[in-house]
Amino acid sequence: AIIVPIGSTEQHGPIGLIGTDSLTASAVAHGIGECNGALVGPSVSLSVAQFNLGFPGTISLRASTLMAIVNDYVLSLKRQGFEQFYFVNGHGANVAVAKAAFQDIYAQWSLGSMAGQPPRCRLRSWWDYPQADALRKQWYGLGEGMHATPSEIAMTLHLLPGSERKASPQALAAPAQLPAAFLRDHGGDNHWDAQTHQAAFPDGRVGSDSALATAEQGKQLLEAAIAGGCDDFAAFV
Ligand code: NI
């Protein structure tokens, strides 16, 4: 088995780092690897983020490109004897794309173009592990929002002390809460085009009160996510 961190390269609001999703996924993945004595592969750090292309620093793959990368990553290591691929995710838009890629991987065995034992793939987002999910709900409530979340900002503050970007109190005022219909329709970063997205969320935060984040919370969130991932990886293999 091998653990694969998968993140993104995109804006993260007034104080967050462009590499947030890859930094967090990589840290959680390495913690799970240490816990289980498992190998951690190189991170997939570019992803589908077309909705954030209005913000400098964002690099987006098309969904079909990311699916091809996931396929080639898995089949390269499958050829060398790896059988189980556990993706630790840090970016909402990866969920649908990676799961579609897994289906196309299995289809190569189902349709007969590949022979032998097929690989097994799983993707988990670090904030969905029950231990981490409980903390973010307790600390941030609806202020967690959907992007530039205080939980992911907290984790990068812990991982890279002093990396906090400066912003005025005005720029960090709590954003409006997201309507229930928006949460229902746009979960998993199911956003529209970049122009529409930037017009709706001009400072890059999507209902997230990033300023709630502290480095100490980030330390606890990282430990909680690793604990949850350690159990889930053990169950997977
Ligand atoms: Ni993020």
Residues 139-155: tens digit of each pLDDT: 999 999 999 999 999 99
Cα(188) to centroid of ligand 1, in Å? Answer: 11
Model's pTM, two decimal places?
0.97
Residues 61-107: tens digit of each pLDDT: 999 999 999 999 999 999 999 999 999 999 999 999 999 999 999 99
Cα(146) to centroid of ligand 1, in Å? Answer: 8
Contacts of 191 (CB under 8 A, 6+ apart): 51, 197
Cβ proximity of 148 and 174 under 8 Å = no
Residues 202-234: tens digit of each pLDDT: 999 999 999 999 999 999 999 999 999 999 999
Residues 161-174: tens digit of each pLDDT: 988 888 999 999 99
Q: Is 127 exposed, middle or buried (0-12, 13-18, 19+ CB in 10 A)?
A: buried
Cα(83) to centroid of ligand 1, in Å? Answer: 29
Contacts of 195 (CB under 8 A, 6+ apart): 54
Q: List, as ranges, residues with CB under 5 A of the ion ligand 1.
A: 20-21, 152
- Mean pLDDT in residue range 27-36: 98
Average pLDDT score over the chain: 97
Cα(161) to centroid of ligand 1, in Å? Answer: 18
pLDDT of residue 162: 87
pLDDT of residue 206: 97
Contacts of 15 (CB under 8 A, 6+ apart): 148, 153, 164, 165, 166, 167, 172, 210, 211
Picking from 198, 216, 205, the residue whose alpha carbon sits closest to that of residue 176 is 205
Cβ proximity of 23 and 221 under 8 Å = no
